[in-house]
Structures are given as C-alpha cells and as structure tokens.
Chains A and B, each alone.
Chain A
Amino acid sequence: MIAVIDYKAGNLTSVMKALHAVGADAVATSDPNVVLQAEKLVLPGVGHFSATAFLDEQGLTNAIANRVQAGYPFLGICVGLQWLFEGSAEEPDAAGLGAFSGYCERFIDGMKVPHVGWNSIQVRESRLLKGVANGEFVYFTHSYRAPVVNGTVAVTEYGLPFTAAVERDNIMGVQFHPEKSGPVGLQILKNFVGLP
C-alpha cells in the first residue's frame, strides 16, 4: 500500500488519480499509524511551505522519518520535494526533513513568479527517471526553488538552475507535477510504484 499524505495543502485528487492510473494501491491519509504501515510514501503538495507545519502537529513527521530511515521508498512532489531540504525562505520557522542540505529560495527578481508551465529537464542516471529522455518536458508550478545538490538527478533552469528531481537511495523528490506531465509524468510515477 502507498500512503499519500494528506496535509491539507491543496487537493490530492490529481495525484491519487494518476497513481491509480499506473496501477498503484494508493490511499490518502493524515493518520501516522497508516503511514507506519505503508510500503511507500508520497508527500504531494501545492501551496505554501508553512502547510508542512501540519506534519509536526499530526505526528506525521516522526512517522515519515521512521519509514524513511527504515528504507521504504519516499516521493515528495513540489512542496513535498522542498520539504526534503533543510527549509525554505517561504516559511523560515518551519523546518524541513533535512535529508538534503540547503534551503529553498524564491526565484530571482525580474522573473515572472510563479514559474508556471512546461520546462525541459537535464537528467542523469536515476531509478526514478528511468526511461525519461534528456530534454523531456514536464509541468511546473511553484514560486520557490531548491538548490542543486549532490543528490540532484534532474536540473532545470528559470533565471538560475535549480533542482527538478532528487534521489538518494529510496529518498526521492520532484519539483514538477508528474501527475500533470502527460506520459512522461506517468512513467515517473510508474517507476516509483514499481520500486522493490
């Protein structure tokens, strides 16, 4: 079972629909006990970084950290990817998981924000992005960007380069929306769902 963590940030309908379309047994939940029994975790999220405070309040942060440490696959989407870093300038008081070093920053002045639309990605060898060609297009919508780090497996550029996907062991994240990125996005979700 895949637990899709509902932390009341935006709607989960699209993510659930896409996971079901690739054959996943996915359930939406805010219950730490369900998270502790899940074989895989997805942390979606469109909205404000401050919404991640809900994870602490509900005891979800500990449950997620527990599962991640035990090696169960985790996929953060959009704000869910940003949460894997140490924090975000969007809400300096809310800490991220800190699985990757660095902080998320707003896009530089002079760029239209949010960064909305289809942008191409430069990819490197990755289990999550298996079968995704270099230069393929995916759909983004966000106002903050994660830094490029050791675990970065896809980069894109809007004013400056930023992380489009990270992967270290079974900890994975995408800044774009695979559930809205056509066949390429579904391939990525399928790769995640198919992880052992």
Chain B
Amino acid sequence: MTLTKRIIACLDVNAGRVVKGVQFVDIVDAGDPAELARRHAEAGTDEIVLLDITATHEQRGTLIDTVERTAKHLFVPFTVGGGIRTVEDAAAIFDAGADKVSINSAAIARPELIGEIGSRFGAQAVIVAIDARRAKSDGDPVADAEVFVSGGRKPAGRKVLEWAKEAESRGAGEILLTSMDADGTRTGFDCELTARVSHAVRIPVIASGGAGTAEHFADVLLQGKADAALAASIFHFGIANVRELKEAIAKRGVPMRLPC
C-alpha cells in the first residue's frame, strides 16, 4: 500500500473547445472537453485539469456550461482553472461539478483569496498554480527563479520558492508548478526547480511543462520529487495510451496506479 504518483491530463479550453492536446483515433468530437475528459479517465489518467486559456469575462457562462458538461460523466478528480478571481467565481465552478480550483494571477494580486476559498471549500480544493522562469541574474538561477503572471507574460516581482511557501502558509492544498522555460519544448520537466519547490513545502507539488517522453515523467517524479506530473498532450509522444505510459514509468520504480 503506497500512495501512487499521479499522471494528470490538462485540457486547454478556449470558448468551450479543447484547443490543443490529445487525440483519440476513434473519437467523435476531438474538440469536446466532456468527451476527452471521459476518455482520459477511462484510459487510466488519474486526474483531469481543465484550463480556460482565454478566461475573458464574456466567456464565463460558456466556461460554467463546459465544466457542467465535463463533470457530468467524470468520476475522477476534476480541477478547473483560468480567470477565477473571487470566492463567488470559485463557488460557481464548484457548483458546476469541479472538485478543485486552480488560481494563479488572482492569488498573486490578492493572496487572501487562497484562504478565502480554502475556508469555505477546504484546503484540498485549492491549487495555487505558479508559472516559473529561472532567473537570468548571476546568482543561483533556480533559487532565484521568478514568478510570472498573465499567462507567463508579466513578471510578478516574486521569487518562486518564497511564493510557494507563502501559498502553503495561506492554506493552499497543492502547488501546480509550470516551468515556462521548459513548457512546449518536450525536452523534459525542470527537475531541479521542481525538487527545490517540493523540498520547500510540505504540500503536494504537481510538475508541469516540458513532457516529451515517459522517461521525462519518471525523471520529474523521481529526481524532481514531484507528487504528480501534468501534460496537455501525453499521447503525442508515440505512446499509445496512458496505461503504456504508466507501465514505463512504473518500470523506473515509481508507484503508479495500474487498476486490477
């Protein structure tokens, strides 16, 4: 009996449609988040994250509808992020069927939001997402890694390690750490940065950004000390299915959920 490390599929959604990521060969509608989420769960993915990448005010209604449709037939943990600025925003997402919300820029702007959502819905329901870039200065680029907001475009003027610790002390249940340097490269997660964050806090850390092969997942779960690894397009790497991915990771000695 060992707590397994989680493989999380992220669906990037714009106006109710998945804009990149996974493709199942026999899927009816490859852009429908509800169908994709259900297929991921059936295939053995441990958790689903739906990220509203535009998150404009006009599209809130669409997002709620998308969350509702996606949650309807989904019986694994389901996180929703993008544009959540208030407890009311979070409440509407939970009512629609999400189990956790992921907050990013809004938590930097007003850190109290973490505790406000946590005290009403439980700490386990709040994920603080951190978009990180290694520092370009002469010092230690990992220890001095910086937080970016607004989809990774704007520096927040905060250091990653210090912000992760603050998020924990304010009641975050998990940290979702995305390496902006690694994101999209498919050359592997930033294991060094992930390990540093994982050591700095006592809450679970989800690593994101850079997944290219099963080895990359194993690396970040072992050397990177991550508790979970997330990718938007885990089947794009010549891996037929999540079971195969998990078996390859398990071969490296990482505990994986391989259902009986």
Contact = CB atoms under 8 A, between A and B. Distances in A.
Q: Do A and B bind each other?
A: yes
Interface string B92-134: 0011110100000000000000000000011111000000000
Interface in B146-187: 173-174
A17 B97 contact: yes
Interface of A is mostly: mixed
Nearest to A180: B77
A46 B75 contact: no
A139 B6 CA distance: 11
Interface stretch (A55-63, A92-100, A130-138): A130-138
Given A119-B3, A136-B260, A113 B124 contact: no
A156 B94 contact: no
A51 B244 CA distance: 42
Nearest to B44: A182
B259 interface: yes
A183 B2 CA distance: 20
Chain B contact-residue range equals 20 to 34
Contact of B97 (A14, A46, A141, A161): A14
B5 A21 contact: no
Nearest to B72: A17
B118 to A, nearest CB: 9
Contact of B41 (A114, A117, A118, A182): A182
Contact of A117 (B3, B96, B97, B260): B3
A126 interface: no
Given A46-B124, A157-B2, A180-B76, A117 B204 contact: yes
Interface of B: 1-6, 41, 46, 71-73, 75-77, 94-97, 99, 121-125, 173-174, 202-204, 227-228, 257, 259-260
Interface of A: 9-11, 13-14, 17-18, 21, 46-48, 112-122, 133, 135-137, 139-143, 155-158, 161, 179-186
